Amino acid sequence: MNKLIISKISKSFKSAQHEIKVLDNVCMTLNQGTAVGVIGASGSGKTTFLQILAGLEMPDKGDIFYNDHNLSVNNGKKFNSMRNNLFGYAYQFHYLLDDLTVYENCDIVFKIAGNRDSKKNSSKIMQILEELGIHDRKDSYPYMLSGGEKQRVAIARAIVHKPEFIIMDEPTGNLDQDNAEIIQDLSLKLAKNYNVGIIIATHDLKYAAKLDNVYRIENGELKST
């Protein structure tokens, strides 16, 4: 079983007036096949933590290991390609590309990776869109979709290349109860049926209660609840 080990990560943001210490010596292990929650007040550092985990933000100190392989010491290029294969990321504010259809928003993952096997990619995309119940919207542009549908497209894009780890930043934040439950069940199913390691930042304590482990960020510390 593969795992991500987050070891002694610290991160501060400095402004002209003051410095905010967001993460202070934070440690966590994320195993494949488990779904883990990260809770904490707004501004506590959930997004910062997830972005560092995915390599989208650099920590001031600390390392991220994939098994015994230190991702933090790789040169940028090697790390970037490894990151693309290892991680899927669904952003807090979904960031769909407005000029692309639902299908094209997913296909861009393969294009960025230089994967031109369009037949195989197409069947992967359609399978995921079907699983998420949005296959009939494949030719729609983001402005034509509801919030819940957009969130599902963002998740489809995060999982279409079958990464080992999926990072979801408040995936149910803007959804009604029915749509939130669809996303919650999907994340649990991905962990159990596809052996994916999932880390989910959420404010929804009912969602968190369904997950295998829950951590809280408070005053820069990350603690198991």
Ligand X SMILES: Nc1ncnc2c1ncn2[C@@H]1O[C@H](COP(=O)(O)OP(=O)(O)OP(=O)(O)O)[C@@H](O)[C@H]1O
Q: What is the DSSP letter of 160?
A: T
One-letter amino acid identity for 95? Answer: Y
H or E segment at 96?
Answer: none
Write each residue from 28 to 47 as x if it is in contact with Mg ion (CB under 5 A), else as -, in one continuous string: ------------------xx
Partner that binds at residue 45, options ligand X, Mg ion, none, CB closer than 5 to 8 Å by kind: ligand X
Q: What angle do CA 9, 13, 15 make, to 5 degrees?
A: 165
Shortest spacing between CB 64 and ligand X, in angstroms = 17
**Under rule CB under 6 A, residue 42 binds ligand X:** yes
Cβ distance to Mg ion smaller for residue 109 or 168: 168
Shortest spacing between CB 166 and ligand X, in angstroms = 17
CA distance 28 to 9: 10
Which residues from 64-93 bind ligand X, rule CB under 6 A? Answer: 92
Write each residue from 44 to 63 as x if it is in contact with Mg ion (CB under 5 A), else as -, in one continuous string: --xx----------------
CA distance 34 to 224: 15
**Under rule CB under 6 A, residue 43 binds ligand X:** yes
Using an 8 Å Cβ cutoff, are 90 and 175 in contact? Answer: no
Number of residues that bind Mg ion (CB under 5 A): 3
Q: Rg for the chain (alpha carbons), in Å?
A: 17
Work out which of 33, 37, 39, 47 binds ligand X, going by CB under 6 A. 47
How far lies 54's CA from each of 1, 4, 98, 107, 121, in Å?
Answer: 19, 10, 24, 20, 23
Which residues from 6-35 bind ligand X, rule CB under 6 A? Answer: 13, 20, 22
Write each residue from 92 to 111 as x if it is in contact with Mg ion (CB under 5 A), else as -, in one continuous string: x-------------------
Shortest spacing between CB 184 and ligand X, in angstroms = 18
Contacts of 113 (CB under 8 A, 6+ apart): 84, 85, 161
Using an 8 Å Cβ cutoff, are 175 and 147 in contact? Answer: yes
Q: Which residues make up the interface to ligand X (CB under 6 A)?
A: 13, 20, 22, 40, 42-48, 92
Q: Which residues make up the interface to Mg ion (CB under 5 A)?
A: 46-47, 92
